[in-house]
């Protein structure tokens, strides 16, 4: 016996129950048993994903030519077995824990399994996605599209749209102390896009901080450059060690060292530029979250002190969304032509329409309003994290300044891996500080957690903090 119902259409997850392809074969239990086996197989192989809403039993009975009671009894048995769930007003759905094994093949039951996706996420790196300013962004998009010249819909200029470069020059000069001429700004697809371009222009050895993102080092290495480790402490990069690296270029996060959280001390800022001048060198300034400082006004960019020795790199990944893939470089005059040469004659990555929208978003003041709002939002998040730890885990200290979208929690030596595993068992995704270490450092914790308090939605933040506290080691 074989029946199939409109196989060209797939099941609906949230509708009233869409068409469902099932093959009923002969076997024990008659038609009811055949239906149960077919539904189990559809779940087991992943054709029916967890949470998928099944058709009402009356509709499925009609489609398959079965009695209503036959389908109702099959649903009831699968609910009892845990394959399905049924709630008044929600219909019958595939149980959330009924996830298919890798490759779609059955597997034997093992020890208690954890969800593939954690219930809570405190991994650093992303802003609160729910806070994206959709209404204001849409208004800017409409204005930008209406005012866009016809040539904006042709091949893109590798420098970036002039409207955006002018708006960035005004904003960066006003808000970050950057000395930016629109002709020295090159728009790119985020910070990684900037590093890829610079990697084709620079030569020799680049000094990188002893804590940072591994994929940034990988981008430089892939470009044929050598990286040398620069130690850090609570005052940021130890720039007095630059001479020993033999490097002529240094990649730093001066406003807020990533991830340990210390700003570059003013004396070290001056020493950094003295080194660059004496060495004929270059500083790559990663200003990844420079707008978000909570205990005082944000510190201005190093680039403002010496525009000919510093490449200022920024993006909207933390302030708006990494989905936009928009960033920029403010370049010394001698690097502009070289960067444009390796970029090519046309813009390959950064959408001209998104550039025009961001230009309007900046010029209209919407970006300033959004940053101020998010600064308050993330400050409340950080304050809440501090308060919860003070109440429930006073022995755990937060290191670094009050800034950015993440904080580092110092842990007792030798406990980091244990705490990360404990967090996973609490359904919490969080990363250890060791994940970002690639050299020697002093004045920072040997073991720690990098807690991204900007990531969770508001409704999930309390639960994430509860799970975090449950995973932390006891005092002593």
Q: Which residue has the higher pLDDT, 430 or 476?
A: 430
Residue 293 is classified by DSSP as B
| Per-residue pLDDT at 159 | 94
| Per-residue pLDDT at 9 | 36
Mapping DSSP to helix (H, G, I), strand (E, B) and coil, where does residue 120 land?
A: strand
Mean pLDDT across 331-341: 96
Residue 265 is classified by DSSP as P
Residue that has been written with the tokens 């076997």 in this structure: 27
Q: What DSSP string describes 41-61?
A: HHHHTTSS-TTPBPPPHHHHH
Residue that has been written with the tokens 């929600």 in this structure: 90
Beta-bridged to residue 283, according to DSSP, are 250, 310
316 by Cβ neighbours in 10 Å (0-12 / 13-18 / 19+) ranks as buried
Contact 445, 408 (CB under 8 A): yes
Angle at 218 between CA 212 and CA 400, to 5 degrees: 5
User: Cα(122)–Cα(426) distance, rounded to whole angstroms?
Assistant: 12
Asked if pLDDT for residue 128 goes beyond 50, the answer is yes
Query: Residues 293, 299, 304, 305: is their CA dihedral positive or negative?
Result: negative
Residue 382: which of 404, 360, 365 has the closest Cα? 404
- Note the pLDDT tens digit of each residue in 360-401: 999 999 999 999 999 999 999 999 999 999 999 999 999 989
Residue 319: which of 186, 160, 171 has the closest Cα? 171
Dihedral angle over CA of 26, 31, 37, 39, nearest 10: 130
Both tokens assigned to 353: 């329409």
User: Cα(36)–Cα(76) distance, rounded to whole angstroms?
Assistant: 10
Asked if pLDDT for residue 151 goes beyond 50, the answer is yes
Buried b (16+ CB within 10 A) or exposed e, 432-459: bbbebbbeebeebbebbbbbbbbbbeee
- Note the pLDDT tens digit of each residue in 11-26: 333 444 567 778 887 7
Asked if pLDDT for residue 168 goes beyond 70, the answer is yes
Contact 411, 234 (CB under 8 A): no
| Domains of the chain as residue ranges with CATH | 30-113 (1.10.10.10), 121-128+369-471 (3.90.1150.10), 132-367 (3.40.640.10)
Mean pLDDT of the chain: 88
Q: 112 falls in which pLDDT band (50, 70, 90)? A: very low
Both tokens assigned to 432: 């250890």
Rg of the chain over all Cα atoms, to the nearest angstrom = 27
- Note the pLDDT tens digit of each residue in 56-93: 878 888 888 888 888 888 888 888 878 888 776 678 88
Query: How far, in Å, are 30, 67, 79, 92, 399 from residue 41 at the CA level?
Result: 17, 21, 15, 17, 51
Total residue length of the chain: 476
| Percent of the residues in the chain that have a pLDDT greater than 90, as a whole number | 66
Query: How far, in Å, are 2, 216, 261, 313 from residue 348 at the CA level?
Result: 51, 21, 34, 19
End-to-end distance of the chain based on CA atoms, in angstroms? 68
114 by Cβ neighbours in 10 Å (0-12 / 13-18 / 19+) ranks as exposed
Residue 398: which of 385, 415, 417 has the closest Cα? 385
- Note the pLDDT tens digit of each residue in 271-315: 999 999 999 999 999 999 999 999 888 889 999 999 999 999 999
| Per-residue pLDDT at 132 | 96
Lowest mean pLDDT among 93-107, 116-130, 188-202: 93-107
Lowest mean pLDDT among 74-83, 89-98, 193-202, 253-262: 89-98
User: Cα(356)–Cα(144) distance, rounded to whole angstroms?
Assistant: 6
pTM attached to this predicted model? 0.76
User: Cα(306)–Cα(179) distance, rounded to whole angstroms?
Assistant: 9
């Amino acid at each position: 016996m074989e029946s199939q119902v409109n196989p060209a259409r797939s099941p609906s997850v949230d509708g009233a129950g869409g068409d469902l392809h099932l093959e009923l074969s002969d076997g024990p239990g008659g038609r009811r048993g055949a239906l149960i086996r077919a539904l189990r197989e559809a779940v087991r192989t992943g054709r029916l994903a967890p949470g998928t809403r099944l058709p009402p039993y009356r509709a499925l009975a009609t489609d398959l030519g079965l009695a209503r009671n036959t389908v109702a009894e099959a649903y009831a048995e699968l609910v009892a077995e845990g394959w399905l769930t049924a709630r008044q007003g929600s219909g019958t759905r595939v149980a959330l824990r009924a996830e298919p094994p890798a490759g779609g093949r059955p597997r034997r039951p093992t020890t208690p399994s954890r969800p593939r996706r954690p219930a809570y996420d405190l991994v650093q790196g992303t802003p609160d996605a729910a806070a994206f300013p959709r209404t204001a962004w849409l208004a800017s998009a409409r204005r930008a599209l209406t005012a866009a010249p016809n040539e904006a819909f042709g091949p893109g200029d590798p420098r970036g749209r002039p409207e955006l470069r002018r708006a960035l020059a005004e904003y960066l000069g006003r808000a970050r102390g950057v000395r930016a001429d629109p002709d020295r700004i090159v728009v790119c697809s985020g910070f990684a896009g900037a590093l890829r371009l610079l990697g084709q222009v620079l030569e020799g050895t680049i000094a990188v901080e002893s804590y940072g993102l591994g994929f940034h080092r990988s981008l430089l290495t892939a470009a044929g450059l050598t990286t040398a480790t620069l130690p850090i402490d609570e005052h940021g990069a130890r720039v007095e060690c630059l001479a020993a690296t033999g490097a002529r270029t240094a990649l730093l996060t001066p406003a807020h060292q990533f991830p340990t959280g210390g700003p570059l001390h003013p004396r070290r800022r001056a020493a950094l530029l003295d080194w660059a001048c004496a060495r004929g060198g270059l500083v790559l300034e990663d200003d990844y979250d420079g707008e978000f400082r909570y205990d005082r006004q944000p510190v201005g960019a190093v680039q403002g002190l010496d525009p000919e020795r510093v490449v200022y790199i920024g993006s909207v990944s933390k302030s708006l969304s990494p989905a936009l893939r928009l960033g920029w470089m403010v370049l010394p005059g001698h690097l502009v032509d070289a960067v444009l040469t390796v970029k090519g004659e046309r813009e390959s990555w950064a959408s001209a329409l998104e550039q025009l929208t961001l230009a309007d978003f900046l010029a209209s003041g919407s970006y300033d309003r959004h940053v101020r709002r998010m600064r308050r939002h993330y400050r409340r998040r950080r304050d809440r994290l501090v308060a919860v730890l003070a109440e429930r885990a006073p022995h755990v200290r937060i290191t670094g300044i009050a800034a950015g979208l993440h904080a580092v929690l110092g842990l007792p030596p030798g406990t980091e891996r244990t705490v990360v595993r404990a967090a996973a068992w609490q359904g919490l995704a969080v990363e250890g500080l060791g994940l970002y270490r690639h050299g020697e450092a002093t004045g920072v914790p040997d073991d720690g957690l990098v807690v991204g308090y900007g990531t969770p939605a508001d409704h999930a933040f309390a639960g994430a903090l509860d799970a975090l506290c449950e995973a932390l080691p006891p005092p002593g």
